[in-house]
Each structure stands twice: as structure tokens, then as C-alpha cells.
Amino acid sequence: MSGRPESLFPLFAGLETLDGVGPKTAQVLAQAGTESPRDVLFSLPYAVIDRRRRDTIQGVDLPATLTVEVTVGAHRPARNKGGAYRVHVEDNQADFQLVFFHARGDYLKRVLPEGSRRVISGKLELFDGMAQMVHPDHMLPVDEAHSIPDFEPVYHLNQGITQKTAYKAARSALTRAPALAEWIDPALAAKHGWPEWTTAIAAAHKPLGADDVAAHAPARERLAYDELFAHQLTLALARQRERKTRGIVSVGTGALQSKVLANLPYRPTGAQLRAIDDISNDMASDARMNRLLQGDVGAGKTLVAFMALLVAVEAGGQGVMMAPTEILARQHLEGLRPLAEEAGVVLEILTGRDKGPERRSKLKSLKDGDIHILVGTHAVFQNDVEFKALRLAIVDEQHRFGVRQRMELSEKGQGADVLVMTATPIPRSLALVQYGDMDVSVLDEKPPGRKPIKTAVVSTERMDEVVSHLRRAIDEGRQCYWVCPLVDESEVSDLTSAEERFKRLRAILGEGTVGLVHGQMPSADKDEAMKAFQEGQTKVLVATTVIEVGVNVPNASIMVIERAEIFGLAQLHQLRGRVGRGEADSTCLLMYQPPLSEGGRRRLEVLRETEDGFRISETDLQMRGAGDLIGTAQSGLPKFRIADLERQAGLMATAQTDARALLSTDPQLRSDRGQAARVLLWLMKQDQAIRLISVG
């Protein structure tokens, strides 16, 4: 199927083909992202107004929106410019006033002639004991009143578009909605009581009460599912194509792995062993691995990653582990070094710092296969970097690493397996949106020996107490992170808040005790400050959030977060995870500036109650919404028009299972249901997916 199916042509025609939409309205709509009748159809009403006609306003609790037939009485024009123009009207039991501001009397006399019968609809309120309707929504002669719907849908409006225009355009778009063959699994549709597509879209635009505009209304739920299903089908097609790219079969012998496991001071957790199994099985198959390893702070991802790298080496190849920054790459190196020594494999690092002869000799060893495992920053993407036999690429912290880089990396080793690691626990529904093309392993148990972190919530008014507590801890040889907030995203004020805190603490705690790291520093200075802290020369590190990912200083056992109430939950959880890595009992102090908002208080309480990153991220999702959680701008999260990720997480999981099931029985989408699914992909503008099928 090369082009858009003809049945959908009317939905993708120009906006001007809709009733009541002229060139100017079309332009306003297009600026707001509504480009075709299809987009109008997917902009569903969010509320409904009951405009059923009643005999009288008598006995109704005001304010209320009412529709009633009246006899028009006397007109009382405004006394002064800008005053109220009033028209007295009465139904068969009571009377009230219509009120107009900036009114043109001649126009009102024409529309509401005295003594005539009219049907009036609008919001009626009590004002000084008198019932008034200011600027009614409808005023029509009785024989034209049938055009007022019993239930009027209310649409989100863009500037310059009225409810009337939106209503008319939607009604007109509905007449273009073709009958489409069913792409949803019939058993699933029956189980949920979902109507077929045309019925659903019509029902969504013609609600008969508040229940019909709720997310759980069957018609709405079905349309939300269509959106999620199309998205998951696109990801599943990408996954299918990815897996068709022949991978390299890497079967480990276990020889190196057993050396490492024998020397571990503890037994790996069940979750770690399961993940190692998942990965080893993927690597042994000829399909290419594309797996996400998701683990909370301190869940032991390093061991799992290293075991995977050893499978590659045991199978006669090489592995690479990539980190987003130099600091993190060096840290991976430190973390892996003792393990590499036990296994007896050659571990090396390559970053932008490597220059000249040193770099050349590393590149030669890599090409000759003398380096088994390489740790690096994106410097390993440069053209002159060649591996002898790359079998596995591990990418740390996906958020800094787009799909494009994943592709580039796998091209370095034709068909190398890819493992992505993230320390950010993402709720399942979001993981499905963002990484739906990948298989996921979750580390949800903490290794033995990690101590709980005591978390306390303190007002900034008690700053002096906090500082003296700190002084005592430093005297006992402990170290502390002090995190300053990004005040208003502007680098300047950010800087001043961190620098002022740094100066104040230095004045109290003494020269040379306090270090500073912030986003504006040259990276060499940043590394310098981090190093001084890691080696214990400085005791307190004042920082903006540059330290949130991966920094490891076991002796740091206190984390102070200033203005914690303005940080996101996931971020606070990540920051807290920087302590609690050593022998000492650790504390995290969340300092807030009173008064705390309701939301702020709830966030800090959740942190105080639990250290489970997945629970925290679920709460974060409920409180902040999906877009904020991953920072939509850089996450590439699709914008769903109907589906609501927070409330319909379950539907997303069903959509993924269903999309994968359909493709496993019908990889080319040739069956009747497969053909219907192709139409859905066109309807949902999933051009990417359509290209995947046509090249597949």
C-alpha cells in the first residue's frame, strides 16, 4: 500500500471544506496544530451543557444554564455609555431579565421585538434578588429553536474561534467519517464493550451527559485505545525490523563470569540473576538484542552490565560501555576495574581527552582486539575508532542518548547487541511509551548491605541548626553534598544562589573545606572540584544538580537539598541516592521555604516515607503528568490527543501486547485485520510505521 487509502481522503482534505470554516478560521486553526478535518475529529469536547428545554425557571437552583420559551417584554436601554441594556422577559410562571453590555439597541429590537415569543438559552444568575441572564448563548424564534442541541458539547478553543464555529466544524467533520474495518482484536472490544470506530467518534462528539465526556466512557476509551495501539504498532514494527537485522550470536562459556561471581563478597539478588539470564539469552540468539535495563539507585546495574560484557568477551569479541560525560565514564572505569582484574580481562578508557600517540596506541590495541572492554564517552563514535569484533554496546543513561546514537553505535559493530541502562525508574506506562520498541529487564531489589537513608524535612528557617549539625559531622570525618536549586532556569541567578551558599559555608566551615560545582564551569574545573571531593580534600561540595547522575563517593553520607519543594520527585530521589553508599549511616535533609503548597508537601512526604524509586515515580506521574516527567521537549514523547497516560496506563500495556501479537501472526499486515491496522496507521499519521511496512 503505497499511499493513503482513498477512504481517508475526505478526512485529510483542506479545513475550508468544513462548514463555517473560511480561510481566516482555517489559518487560526492551523497555527494551533489543527490542519485537517481529521484533526477536528480528534479534538474531542471536554464538557457538555444540558440545553434541554424546560417550561419555567421557577424552582431551579441558580446559577444554572437554562433553555426556556419566553414572551419578550419592555426594553430598558442603558442610561450611560457602557452601562447595561436590559430586556424584560417572562416564561409561563416567572420573569427575569436579559442583560447586554455595549449593546446596539437597534440590533436588539430587531432580534427581540416586544411581544414576540423566543427560545432563550444561557446562564441564569441571581443578582440583587433578581434573576438575570447576561449575554444569552441563544435567542431564537420558536420555529428555529430546534437548532439548539439538547446536549451541547463544549470544545477547547483557540483564540479567535467561537464555540459555535467549533461545534459546526465538528458536526461537518463527522459527516466525512468513513466506515472503517475493525483493527481492534474482536475479543478485546467485546470485553470492554467498545463500539466500532464510526459509532465511537460520533458518540464522542454527541455526549448525552457528563458521563459521556469522561475518559472511561466506552466511546472515548475506544478512541484512546486506537491512539495507543497505533503508537505501539509503530514501535513493534521498529522492533520487528530491528530484530530482523541479523544479530551476532554470542554464547558465553561462563569461564570468566564464574571467576567474578566466586569472588563477590555477596550473592547477587534474584533480580540481578534474572536480568543476567535475559541478557545472555538475547545475546545467544541471532536476532539483535535491544534491551533496557532499568534499575533504581543502587540496585546493582554495574554487576549485570559487566556480566553481559563478559559474555561478549567469552564468545571471542569485545564490548563497549558508553557514558554521557567524562566524569561518569571514569567512574564506570573505577567500578569495573576490580571486576576486570578478577576476570583477567583488559579494560581501557577512551574519552575526548586522549590525544596524540596515546590515543593512537589505544586505537591500535582496539583494532587488534587486545582491549577486551572499552569504556568511553561519545568519543567512541569518531570515524577512526575501529573494533576488531564488537559484540555488545552498553549505553548508560538513555535520556542523554537518542535513538539516532543507538543506531550509530550498533553500526560500529555490524549487528552488535545493544543494552541501554537507566537509573531513572520510570512508571511502566511511560516506559512502554518511550521504550516500547525494547525488551525491558527491571532490577527491583536492593543488594544486601545497602543501608537505608534517613530522610528529614526541615524549614529553611532552621538553616543555622543545619550548618552546626554539618560542622559536627565534618569533625567526625564525614562528607556532605549541598545542592542548590535552579532558581528560575536562568544561569545567572542559579549561579549566584550556589556561589553565595558556597561563600557562606566557607566562611563558617573554613577555607579549603568547601568546593563548588555548577553548570557554568568549564568541564576541567568541574572535574577538578569533583576529584578534590572524591579524594576527600574538600568535605562539603556545593552544587547545582550536575551531580544527580551516577557520582559515587562512598564517604559522603549527608545530602542537603535546599528549596527541595521546587525539585521534581524523581530528581530528589536521584539526588538522595548519591549518599548511603558507604559504611556510615546516611542522612538526607530536604529543606523547604515555608509556606509549603499542598503539592509540595505531598512530594516531600512521599520521599520521607519510601526509598522505592518505582513507587516514587508512579506518584510523580499522578502529580505532574507525563509530559513534565520526562521533560517532553527532549523525550520525543508523542502527543496523544485523546489518551491520558496517567489515567489509562493499563490500556497502554494492553496495546503493546496486542500490537506485538498481531505482528507475530501477521508480520506484513496482510490479513483483513492487518489491512485495517494499516488504515489506522494512516489515520493516526504514523508515517514512520508505514515506511517500515513498505520497506519490510
Q: What is the pLDDT of residues 280-294, one digit of tens each?
A: 999 999 888 889 898
The C-alpha cell 461537518 sits at 172
pLDDT of amino acid 627: 44
In order of start, what are the domains of the chain with their CATH numbers?
52-148 (2.40.50.140), 255-443 (3.40.50.300), 453-610 (3.40.50.300)
pLDDT of amino acid 348: 95
d(CA 212, CA 219): 8
d(CA 470, CA 480): 8
**Alpha helices for 319-443 (secondary structure H):** 326-343, 356-368, 403-412, 428-434
Provide the 8-state DSSP code for 299.
S
d(CA 674, CA 67): 48
Residue (of 469, 506, 477, 501) closest to 587 by Cα position: 469
* Whole-number average pLDDT of the chain: 86
Q: How sure is the predictor about 402, in pLDDT bands with cuts at 50, 70 and 90?
A: low
d(CA 639, CA 442): 26
Contact yes or no for 130/96 (Cβ under 8 A): yes
Of the candidate ranges 24-33, 67-76, 121-130, 243-252, the one whose mean pLDDT is the lowest = 243-252
Residue (of 53, 48, 51) closest to 211 by Cα position: 48
Q: What is the pLDDT of residues 361-393, one digit of tens each?
A: 999 999 999 999 999 987 787 778 889 999 999
Q: Coil, strand, or helix at residue 40?
A: helix
Contact yes or no for 412/390 (Cβ under 8 A): yes
Q: How sure is the predictor about 630, in pLDDT bands with cuts at 50, 70 and 90?
A: very low
CA distances from 211 to 214, 219, 220 (A): 5, 11, 10
Contact yes or no for 303/314 (Cβ under 8 A): no
Cell of 383: 570515524
pTM summary value: 0.66
pLDDT of amino acid 567: 82
Q: CB within 8 A of 477, min separation 6: which ones?
A: 555
Q: Can you tell me the mean pLDDT for 507-521?
A: 86
Q: Strand runs (DSSP E) across 460-584, as ranges?
A: 479-483, 514-517, 540-543, 556-561
pLDDT of amino acid 634: 36
Bond preceding residue 427 cis, omega within 30 of 0: no
Provide the 8-state DSSP code for 212.
G
CA distances from 268 to 255, 279, 467, 536 (A): 18, 15, 39, 30
Q: What is the pLDDT of residues 88-122, one digit of tens each?
A: 999 999 999 999 998 888 899 999 999 999 999 99
Write down how long the chain is: 696
Beta bridge partners of 281: none
d(CA 374, CA 394): 10
